[in-house]
């Protein structure tokens, strides 16, 4: 069977994403994880071009912010110029991180450069009736870059179920006589893994299960950060469903696994074959959780010391690409008492020295044991001005809070991880000392 057409499909590049625990890049003084993301984006583009693709699709969340920093827009344009110079066409969809607040437009709008061969899918209030690609410009567009190929792009905006209240019904159907690819940015209803998409940016918008049974040659989706086919829809042929994954792992809220893009081959008989292609990523280690129950401080210290000694904290390829060879490492210790945490934190400086070659090294204390004997401490909460470690404060309250607000057990850990990420960025001087923290 001969190849008729080749596409490269990527998504969730998240340009501008940073990890507050990472070191600074020595040349730019930007957060090292920002530089990692820029490098991964360029590696993806170059891999697609080297593979001889004739078209490139971005599934959304090209930038991490709806209002990206100039450095991230400049990088996106500079890398897109590589595509433009080859004469390869491009199509960029809008994801939840692209979605502008209020009347603002999508960040993907910065990539709408038709004169350079790339079109972006995003609502634009400046469009008049009939202006733009239909059926619903910015919401659901059908692009036909070559005869016989129809790309149905439904943006994050187009998955909003409240559109029906305005008389807009997004109901994609394959075009007869074409190879039909459905591209969208959301959570596929049939994929039980998607509770991992804990994300404070925009609504979670589902992709209906019945769309997969409408005769698409392939569904190529973005939003879930793990690369590959969706279980149960991972056959090779019509109705197959794939996620582009992301260009890098976003902290430990993402599942660890390969990163990259989708190599899509349209054969001369119209059959579509999809293959996951991987790119470099910085090594990342989530060490086995230590349960502090029935362990002494020395036991825990010895475990962590041995684990650090056994790790490869540096990687030659990463050093060559980014200037920093260090891995990203996390150790979680559960079930600690307040006294244990105090003793363990006294050991933290020594662990930091042992793991100093890591680009990011963190100790987390999820699910601490409540100190039931200290009734006075339980009765009196310190005001904000007296709290110096908001991450530790949230950890101490998390189990009780999760139960009281009804967080399902299945998502408790990723919800807590996201909340802790925010809490650790707060310092006592960044909030009013007159504001009390209450349960």
* Cα-based distances in Å from 159 to 206, 220, 272: 7, 15, 25
pLDDT in tens, 104-143: 999 999 999 999 999 999 999 999 888 999 999 999 999 9
Tokens of 406: 């009804």
What pLDDT, on the 0 to 100 scale, is given for residue 429? 45
- Structural domains for the chain: 3-278 (3.60.21.10), 284-430 (no CATH)
As a whole number of angstroms, the distance between CA 340 and CA 145 comes to 62
- 151 pLDDT higher than 90: yes
- 39 pLDDT higher than 90: yes
What pLDDT, on the 0 to 100 scale, is given for residue 384? 43
Of 24-33, 186-195, 373-382, least confident by mean pLDDT is 373-382
Cβ atoms 259, 17 nearer than 8 A: no
Cβ atoms 170, 163 nearer than 8 A: yes
Q: How confident is the model at residue 436 (pLDDT cuts 50, 70, 90)?
A: very low
What pLDDT, on the 0 to 100 scale, is given for residue 189? 82
Of 252-261, 300-309, 383-392, least confident by mean pLDDT is 383-392
Of the ranges 75-89, 196-210, 422-436, which is most confident? 75-89
- Give me the mean pLDDT over the 69-84 stretch: 98
Tokens of 219: 């569904």
Calculate ∠ Cα 35-22-289, nearest 5°.
125
Please give the residue that has the higher pLDDT: either 250 or 407: 250
Query: At 304, is the secondary structure helix, strand, or coil?
Result: helix
Q: How confident is the model at residue 404 (pLDDT cuts 50, 70, 90)?
A: low
Please give the residue that has the higher pLDDT: either 425 or 303: 303
Q: What is the mean pLDDT of the chain?
A: 87
The model's pTM: 0.83
DSSP letters spanning 90-150? EEE---TTTPPSTTPPPGGGGG-BGGGTEEE----TT--TT-SSSEETTTEEEE-SSTTEE
pLDDT in tens, 180-230: 999 999 999 876 665 444 455 556 689 999 999 999 999 999 999 999 999
pLDDT in tens, 251-283: 898 999 999 999 999 998 789 999 999 999 999
pLDDT in tens, 337-349: 999 999 999 999 9
Cβ atoms 7, 259 nearer than 8 A: no
DSSP letters spanning 190-212? T-GGGGG---SSS---EE-GGGG
- Give me the mean pLDDT over the 66-71 stretch: 97
């Amino acid at each position: 069977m001969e190849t008729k057409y080749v596409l490269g499909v990527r998504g969730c590049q998240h340009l501008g994403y940073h990890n507050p625990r990472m070191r600074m890049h020595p040349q730019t003084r930007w957060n090292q994880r920002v530089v990692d993301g820029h490098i991964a984006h360029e590696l993806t583009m170059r891999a697609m071009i080297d593979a001889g693709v004739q078209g490139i699709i971005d599934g959304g969340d090209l930038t991490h912010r709806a209002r990206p920093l100039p450095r991230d827009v400049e990088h996106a344009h500079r890398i897109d110029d590589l595509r433009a110079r080859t004469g390869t066409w491009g199509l960029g969809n809008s994801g939840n991180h692209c979605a502008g607040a209020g009347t603002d437009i999508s960040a993907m709008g910065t990539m709408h450069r038709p004169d350079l061969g790339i079109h972006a899918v995003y609502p634009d209030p400046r469009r008049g009736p009939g202006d733009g690609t239909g059926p619903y410009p910015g919401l659901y567009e059908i692009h036909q870059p070559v005869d016989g190929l129809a790309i149905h792009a439904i943006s994050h905006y187009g998955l909003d179920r409240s559109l029906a209240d305005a008389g807009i019904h997004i109901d994609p159907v394959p075009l007869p006589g074409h190879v039909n690819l459905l591209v969208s940015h959301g959570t596929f209803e049939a994929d039980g893994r998607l509770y991992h998409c804990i994300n404070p940016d925009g609504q979670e918008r589902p992709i209906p299960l019945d769309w997969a049974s409408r005769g698409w040659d392939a569904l190529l989706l973005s939003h879930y950060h793990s690369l590959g086919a969706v279980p149960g829809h991972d056959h090779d042929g019509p109705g197959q469903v794939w996620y582009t994954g992301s260009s890098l792992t976003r902290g430990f809220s993402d599942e660890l696994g390969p990163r990259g893009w989708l190599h899509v081959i349209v054969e001369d008989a119209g059959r579509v074959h999809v293959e996951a292609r991987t790119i470099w990523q910085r090594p990342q280690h989530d060490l086995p959780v230590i349960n502090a129950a029935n362990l002494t401080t020395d036991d825990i210290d010895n475990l962590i010391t041995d684990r650090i000694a056994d790790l490869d904290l540096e990687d030659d390829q990463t050093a060559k690409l980014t200037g920093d060879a260090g891995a990203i490492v996390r150790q979680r210790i559960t079930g600690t008492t307040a006294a244990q945490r105090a003793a363990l934190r006294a050991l933290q400086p020594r662990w930091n020295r042992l793991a100093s070659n890591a680009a990011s090294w963190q100790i987390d204390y999820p699910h601490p044991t409540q100190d039931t004997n200290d009734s006075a401490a339980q009765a009196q909460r310190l005001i904000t001005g007296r709290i110096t470690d908001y991450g530790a404060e949230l950890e101490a309250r998390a189990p009780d809070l999760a139960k009281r607000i009804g967080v399902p057990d299945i998502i408790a850990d990723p919800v807590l991880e996201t909340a802790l990420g925010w809490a650790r960025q707060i310092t006592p001087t960044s909030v009013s000392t007159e504001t009390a923290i209450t349960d």
